[in-house]
Each structure stands twice: as C-alpha cells, then as structure tokens.
Amino acid sequence: MAELTKAEQPVSAAKVAYRYNQRQKYKYPDAVTLVPAFDLTKLPGPNDEVVSVALGDKEIRRTLPATAERPATEMVSKVATQEQLKYLYEVEKHPHIERYIP
Amino acid sequence: MGDCTPNEGGIIKSFATKLSNITSVTITSGVISNFTMSSTGLWEEFLYDLDATANFNQVGAINNNRFTVEQTAFMKFRGITEASLAAADAAAQCCDTVWIHVLSSGARLVQGIERLSATGAPQRTKNSNTRIIPTANTDTSANEARTEYTVQGNANSFTNTTSLSDSAILAL
C-alpha cells in the first residue's frame, strides 16, 4: 500500500506548528498585535492584561514619548511564541496566522 | 420608574492612525477586541482641551431608502504655533484615518471604518473618506486663539465599539 503524502497524513497535535502567513510577512514584516499576558486559552476580558507581540522574525523596540500623565517608556514587542501564535489561530481565529506541519 | 443615572456626554481623549496601518481587526461578540498593525507605535494619542467642546456625533440620514451616517468628531487645542500649523497641514493630507474616541463613561467608539461583524481587514467609510479638517482661528482679543480639528466621514453604518484600554492601544 502506498504511503500517505504529508498533506494526506492525519494532523497530530504534537506535530503541528503555527506561523505568520508568509505573504503577510512579506508585506508587513514588522506587524504587531495583542495577546493576553497570562491566560492563552480564552479571549481577554476588558480588565485582563494584554501584551504586544511581533508577528515577524525580530523583536521590535520603541520609546513611547512622555506626557503629563506618564514618563517616557520603552515598549518592547517580543517575537510571538508558538503558544501565542496558537492562541491567535485557535482562539482569536486570526486571519493571518496559519497552522502547518513542520 | 425611569433611570436617573447621569450619562455624561463628550469625549475626553482620542487615538488616531492611518487606515493603511491596520492589517486586521478582531471582532468578539460585535466588539473590536484587537487590532493587528503593520508596525508598532502607529496610534497617536490626542489630548485636547477639556472645556466641554469635544464631541463625536453620528447623524443618520435616509434618502430614497438609502441609509447613511455622517460621522463628525470635533476637538480643540489651545494656541496657534508653528508646530501646530505644521501638524495641521500634515493632518489635512491624510485621506483615510481611523479614530478611537474615549467617552467620559469609558466607552470607546471607532470612527473611520465601516461596522464589522466578523474578524478581517477593515474597510474605509464607504461614502466619503474620514479626513481631518483643521482650522487655525485667532478669534478676537475677547477669546482664545486655537487650533481645531474636525474629523469627518460618511459611512453606511454606525461605528463599532472597542474593548481595548488606553494601555493596550499604546502597546500596539
């Protein structure tokens, strides 16, 4: 019996990974979005803390200018982890995140 | 019995970006719960005079069964300087802008995109672009010199709201 091709093989939860869509990455290599800071199993509520993550390959840093209400602050968007990408794909149904078999 | 809880009007601050900076909008139960931006630091915070003049008005109209919504925000900044005039000139050049207006109640309205019911790319206000129309008015000596921004567009629908906090918007 012929072996199944990679596309035909059943998806094993242990094998799948998540990534930023390649076309989007080409267009917007520095894209950022928000993910929950703690619980990646559900959408954040209005009072839940969120963090900014970079969808591309590199961490992004910038300085948020000072205002009367706050000092200048360094903002860091770290590269999204597999767990965070999984959240975006599975929970948020983000259109630019895809699941693939590495 | 009626509800006598006060419901303050007015907007107290706004955040703005170009529409082209937003690559995707996430909708959760009809509310915007996330933006994906083409890069970081693209939302500008606008802190205008808190003198009971800033407001955001959505006026529905119907013409031969065609419904549209004129969306107009107004904000005022005291003084006229070289910097304010340069900023006004730059602001007037931008064709499609997106604004998050923060109401006194804490609610947040998103001006500049058509109402979304599902996650995806945002669409500009269909009937006319959402643009900034700046005015620099010295007024008379009995009054104050000021720079005023009117943000105006025409959409097929009322705005979405967003659940994002100030810190979440600034983190993007």
pLDDT score of A51 more than 90: yes
Look up tokens 């706050």; give the residue: A70
Task: Place A3 in a pLDDT band, splitting at 50, 70 and 90.
Answer: low
| pLDDT band with cut points at 50, 70 and 90 for residue A96 | very high
| Distance between B60 CA and the closest CA of chain A, angstroms | 29
Q: Do A92 and B119 touch (CB under 8 A)?
A: yes
Higher pLDDT: B11 or A68? It is B11
Residue A5 banded pLDDT, cuts 50, 70, 90: low
Confidence of residue A12 (pLDDT cuts 50, 70, 90): low
Say what the pLDDT of residue B39 is. Answer: 94
Nearest CA in chain B to A20: B36
Q: Which of A24, A45, A52 sits opposite B40 (nearest CB)?
A: A52
Q: What is the pTM of this model?
A: 0.89
B171 φ, ψ (degrees, to nearest 5): -75, -20
Chain A CA closest to residue B120? A95
Q: How confident is the model at residue B4 (pLDDT cuts 50, 70, 90)?
A: confident
Give the pLDDT confidence of B107-123 residue by residue, as tens digits: 999 999 999 999 999 99
DSSP B46-57: E----SS--EEE
Residue range B33-37: mean pLDDT, rounded: 95
Determine the residue of chain B that is closest to A26 in CA distance. Answer: B38
| B46 within 8 A of B75, measured Cβ to Cβ | yes
- In three-state form (DSSP H/G/I as H, E/B as E, the rest C), the secondary structure along chain A is CCCCCCCCCCCCCCCCEEEECHHHHHHCCCCEEEEECCCCCCCCCCCCCEEEEECCCCCEEEEECCECCECCEEEEEEECCHHHHHHHHHHCCCCCEEEECC
pLDDT in tens, B62-89: 999 999 999 999 999 999 999 999 999 9
Q: Does the beta-carbon distance from A46 to B35 stay under 8 Å?
A: no
Q: Band of the pLDDT at A8, cuts 50, 70, 90?
A: low
CB contact under 8 A, A43 and B45: no
Is the predicted pLDDT of residue A34 greater than 60, yes or no? yes
Closest Cα in chain A to B32: A46
pLDDT at B167 over 60: yes
Question: How many beta carbons lie within 10 A of that of residue A85, not counting itself?
Answer: 23
User: Taking a C-beta distance cutoff of 8 angstroms, is the pair B97, B19 a contact?
Assistant: yes
Say what the pLDDT of residue B5 is.
76
- CA B17 to chain CA centroid, Å, is 9
Residues in A lying within 8 Å of B, measured between beta carbons: 24, 27-28, 30-34, 43-46, 50-52, 54-55, 60, 62, 64, 67-68, 75, 77, 92-96
